[in-house]
């Protein structure tokens, strides 16, 4: 496929790998955080780590929207479906994420709740048009990539007077999360997580542009390279980061110029600005409460806001106790540090969100067998893979 196959070419990958091997200086380590789960996935799927010299390390970041959604919000979605008997429309990724007491949307559905997987917000609108006597709620999650499609749906719903449609908004913002990581005690005070540079988001950046990263490249003196999701993009961006580190630069560079510009998609940004506004604070799984890191629906669109339309109860939400997702999302631990990894917790029976989404670090470790190479992998795990 055009624009995909070219960026997976083996010979080119070897060339870039050669350049990396020569330019990465022995005697220093390079700790590069890939913010996006999409990069984590590409690194594992294509074995990019194996093509790197031993002193180039990828630190996996929290950029998986499914993984960072706190259990509480998932429990709220289940409540909408069960208590208010709405038709709850959701992207497929959310279906198997375990909520409190392992209750997922798929379990609620099996128990009779009307939960429907949709590919697009357009599908949710169609379901609302077809079911005028039912309340239809779109469970909106995701970073800046999925936010504009939700905005389009809200504008359309208002224009059509689709009064049985509303959105349960959980959209979160990438730059706020990156800044939160850089200010975290692990990075700042304890130094337990070293970050020498960032592989910047691909598709998020196609919407917001590369400009929003300029502030913290400067403020925190960390280089950022906006990187595409194909393996060659990841490798070329790694090379660009290594060069910046070697030269003591901390700039925002853009490897993914075929889709990302400095200003991004201004049409989408304007639409998002019309429909959403900042929340003062929002809870992230792993990061805790992060100021100005999420969006809510503006008062103009209040009638389509599920949080206003339905009274969601106060509830005590709980994750599985030994699940290490929160620490993994901050780059502090690896999936193999979790007692449940590969034994109790597998993609077929996930205990935490990081094992559900293909962009989650636990799912990537499991699917691509990375842990086989690790000294921490015990015999049981070896058996499971064999």
Partner 1 sequence: MCLALPARVVSLEADDLATVALEGVRKKISLALVDDVAVGDYVLVHVGYALHKVSEEEAERTLSMMAEAGVLAEELAEIKGAEA
280 binds partner 1 (CB under 8 A): no
Establish if 354 lies at the interface with ligand SF4 (CB under 6 A): yes
CB 127 within 8 A of CB 94: no
151 binds ligand SF4 (CB under 6 A): no
| Least distance (Å) between residue 343 CB and ligand SF4 | 9
**Residues binding ligand SF4: number (CB under 6 A):** 15
CB of 140 to partner 1, least distance (A): 11
321 binds partner 1 (CB under 8 A): no
Q: Which of 279, 310, 268 is nearest to 155 (CA)?
A: 268
**How far from 12 is each of 21, 39, 153, 209, 243, CA to CA, in Å?**
14, 19, 41, 27, 19
Helix (H, G, I), strand (E, B) or coil at 265: coil
Task: For residues 191 and 327, give the distance between their C-alpha atoms in angstroms, rounded to a whole number.
Answer: 15
Residue of 172, 170, 171, 165 whose CA lies nearest to 88: 165
Q: How far is the CB of 381 from partner 1 (least distance, A)?
A: 27
Q: Is the dihedral of CA 346, 348, 351, 355 positive or negative?
A: positive
User: Which option in partner 1, ligand SF4, none does residue 340 bind, with CB closer than 5 to 8 A by kind?
Assistant: ligand SF4
139 binds, among partner 1, ligand SF4, none (CB under 5 to 8 A by kind): none
Binds partner 1 by CB under 8 A, chosen from 15, 190, 299, 385: 15
Residue closest to 142 by CA, chosen among 95, 94, 100: 94
Asked whether position 331 contacts ligand SF4 by CB under 6 A, the answer is no
Q: Locate 346 and state its tokens.
A: 């597998």
Of residues 25, 85, 102, 122, which one binds partner 1 by CB under 8 A?
Answer: 122
How far apart (Å, rounded) are the C-alpha atoms in residues 44 and 11? 19
Classify each residue of 193-228 as buried b or exposed e, where b means 16 or more C-beta atoms within 10 Å of its C-beta: bebbbbbbbbbbbbbbbbebbeebbeebebbbbbbb
Considering only residues 247 through 266, tell me which ones interact with partner 1, judged by CB under 8 A.
255-260, 265
| CA distance linking residue 147 with residue 295, whole number of Å | 9
- C-alpha pair distances (Å), 124 with each of 117, 143, 288: 9, 19, 30
- The only residue of 37, 331, 350, 352 in contact with partner 1, by rule CB under 8 A: 37
Residue 142 binds: one of ligand SF4, partner 1, none (C-beta under 5 to 8 A by kind): partner 1
Q: What are phi and psi of 55, to 5 degrees?
A: -95, 10
CB of 186 to ligand SF4, least distance (A): 17
325 belongs to the binding site for ligand SF4 (CB under 6 A)? yes
Q: With contacts defined by CB under 6 A, name the span among 32-40, 122-130, 221-229, 332-340 that binds ligand SF4.
A: 332-340
Quick one: 126 exposed, middle or buried, by C-beta within 10 A (0-12, 13-18, 19+)? middle
Q: Report the sign of the C-alpha dihedral through residues 223, 229, 234, 236, in that order.
A: negative
The reply to whether 129 sits near partner 1 by the rule CB under 8 A is no
Size of residue set near partner 1 by CB under 8 A: 62
For position 335 contacting ligand SF4 by CB under 6 A, the verdict is yes
Least distance to partner 1, CB of residue 155, Å: 9
Q: Which residues of 151-174 are buried (b: 16+ CB within 10 A; e: fewer)?
A: bbbbeebbeeebebbbbbbbbbbb
Tell me: does residue 260 bind ligand SF4 (CB under 6 A): no
By the criterion CB under 8 A, which residues form the site for partner 1? 1-4, 6-7, 12, 14-16, 18-19, 21-23, 36-38, 63-66, 91, 93, 119-123, 141-143, 145-146, 148-149, 152, 201-204, 206-207, 228-229, 232-233, 235-236, 239, 255-260, 265, 267-268, 271, 357, 359
Q: Using CB under 6 A as the criterion, which residues of the chain lie in contact with ligand SF4 when the complex forms?
A: 320, 323-325, 328, 335, 338, 340-341, 345, 351-352, 354-355, 362
């Amino acid at each position: 496929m055009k624009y995909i196959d070219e960026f997976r070419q083996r010979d080119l990958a070897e060339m870039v790998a050669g350049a990396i091997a020569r330019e990465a200086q022995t005697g220093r380590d390079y700790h590069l955080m890939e913010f996006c789960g999409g990069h984590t996935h590409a690194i594992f799927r294509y074995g990019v780590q194996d093509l790197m010299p031993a002193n180039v390390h990828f630190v996996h970041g929290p950029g998986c929207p499914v993984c960072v959604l706190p259990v509480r919000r998932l429990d709220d979605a289940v409540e909408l479906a069960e208590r208010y008997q709405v038709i709850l429309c959701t992207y497929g990724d959310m279906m198997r994420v375990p909520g409190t007491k392992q209750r997922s949307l798929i379990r609620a559905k099996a128990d009779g709740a009307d939960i429907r997987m949709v590919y697009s917000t357009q599908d949710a609108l169609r379901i609302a048009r077809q079911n005028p006597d039912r309340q239809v709620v779109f469970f909106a999650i995701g970073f800046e990539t999925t936010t504009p499609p939700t905005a389009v749906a809200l504008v359309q719903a208002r224009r059509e007077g689709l009064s049985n449609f509303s959105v349960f908004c959980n959209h979160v913002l990438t730059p706020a999360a990156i800044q939160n990581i850089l200010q975290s005690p692990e990075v700042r005070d304890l130094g337990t997580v070293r970050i020498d540079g960032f592989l910047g988001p691909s598709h998020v950046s196609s919407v917001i542009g590369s400009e929003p990263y300029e502030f913290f490249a400067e403020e925190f003196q960390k280089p950022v390279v906006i990187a595409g999701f194909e393996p060659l993009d990841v490798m070329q961006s790694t090379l660009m980061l290594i060069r910046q580190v070697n030269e003591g630069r901390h700039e925002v560079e853009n490897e993914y110029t075929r889709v990302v510009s400095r200003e991004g998609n201004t049409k989408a940004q304007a639409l998002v600005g019309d429909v959403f506004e900042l929340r003062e604070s929002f809870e992230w799984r792993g990061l805790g409460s992060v100021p100005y890191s999420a969006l809510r629906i503006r008062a103009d669109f209040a009638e389509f806001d599920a949080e206003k339309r339905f009274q969601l109860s106060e509830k005590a939400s709980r994750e599985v106790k030994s699940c290490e997702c929160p620490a993994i999302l901050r780059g502090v631990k690896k999936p193999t540090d979790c007692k449940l990894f590969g034994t109790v917790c597998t993609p077929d029976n996930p205990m935490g969100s990081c094992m559900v989404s293909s962009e989650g670090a636990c799912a990537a470790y499991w699917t691509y067998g990375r842990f086989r190479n690790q000294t921490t992998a015990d015999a049981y795990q070896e058996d499971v893979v064999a």
